[in-house]
Structure 1
Amino acid sequence: MTISVSVRQVVGPQDAARRDTQGLRDGFVIEALFRPGEINLTYSHLDRMVVGGIAPLSEALVIDRVPETGTEQFLERREAAIVNIGGSGTISVGGKDHTLGFQEAIYIGMGEGPLAFSSRNPAEPALFYFLSAPAHRVCPTVHITREMAKKVVLGSAEESNARTINQYVHPDVCESCQLLVGLTMFEPGSVWNTMPAHVHDRRMEVYLYFGMQEATRIFHFMGEPGETRHVVLKNHEAVLSPGWSIHSGAGTGRYAFIWAMAGDNMSFTDMDKVPMDALR
Structure 2
Amino acid sequence: MEIRYATNPEQTKTYDTEKLRDEYLIERLFVPGELKMVYSHVDRYIIGGVIPKGNTLQLEAGKKEIGADYFLERREIGIINVGSAGVVTVDGQEYVLETKDCLYVGLGNEEVTFTSEDANSPARFYFISVPAHKQYETVKLSISEATPTHLGDISGSNERTIYKYIHPDGIQSSQLVMGMTLLKPNNMWNTMPCHTHERRSEVYFYFDMPEDGTVFHFMGQPNETRHLVVRNEQAVISPSWSIHSGVGTNNYTFIWAMAGENQSFNDMDMIEMKELK
Normalising by structure 1, report the TM-score: 0.97
* Letter matched to residue 263 of structure 1: G
| Percent of aligned positions that are identical | 46
Aligned-partner residue type, residue 224 of structure 1: Q
C-alpha displacement at 1:103, in angstroms? 0.4
**Which SS does the other structure have where 1:47 is aligned?**
coil
Report whether the alignment pairs 1:127 with 2:124: yes
Distance across 1 between alignment mates of 2:80 and 2:271? 30
CA contact (8 A) 1:148 1:173 kept: no
Query: In the TM superposition, what is the alpha-carbon distance from 1:251 to its structure 2 partner?
Result: 0.3
Q: Match of 1:157?
A: 154
1:44 aligns to what?
Answer: 40
Contact 1:201 1:244 in 2 (8 A): yes
Give the SS at the match of 1:212.
coil
CA drift of 1:225 comes to: 0.2
User: Shift in Å at residue 172 of structure 1?
Assistant: 1.5
* Aligned counterpart, 2:199: 202
Q: Tell me if structure 2 keeps the 8 A contact 1:148–1:168.
A: no
Give 1:171 shift.
1.6
Alignment correspondent of 1:102: 99
| Aligned residue number for residue 247 of structure 2 | 250
Q: What letter matches 2:50 in structure 1?
A: I
State the alpha-carbon separation in 1 of the partners of residues 197 and 87 from structure 2: 34
Q: Could you tell me which residue of structure 2 aligns to residue 261 of structure 1?
A: 258
**Cα deviation, residue 31, structure 1:** 1.0
For 2:145, the equivalent position in structure 1 comes to: 148
**Which residue is equivalent to 1:55?**
51
SS at match of 2:154: coil
What's the CA shift for 1:17?
1.2
Letter matched to residue 237 of structure 1: Q
Q: How many residues align?
A: 276
Structure 1 residue 65: Cα displacement: 2.4
- Please report how far the alpha carbon of residue 187 of structure 1 lies from its aligned counterpart in structure 2 after TM superposition: 1.7
- Which consecutive residues of structure 1, in runs of 5 or more, have no partner in the other structure? none
Aligned counterpart for 1:172 among listed residues 166, 169, 177 = 169
Deviations 1:99-119 (A, max 9, x none): 100000100010111211000
Partner of 2:221: 224
Q: State the one-letter code of the partner of 1:30.
A: I
Deviations 1:31-59 (CA, angstroms, capped at 9, x unpaired): 11101111100000011011000111111
For residue 171 of structure 1, give the secondary structure of its aligned residue in structure 2.
coil
Instruction: Look up the match of 1:15.
Output: 11
- 1:168–1:182 contact (8 Å) kept in structure 2: yes
Correspondence for 2:180:
183
Q: Distance in 2 between matches of 1:169 and 1:149?
A: 10
SS of structure 2 residue aligned to 1:27: helix
Q: Which consecutive residues of structure 2, in runs of 5 or more, have no partner in the other structure?
A: none
- Residues of 1 paired with 2:60 and 2:230: CA distance? 31
TM-score (norm 2): 0.98
The equivalent position to 2:235 in structure 1, one of 231, 238, 258, is 238
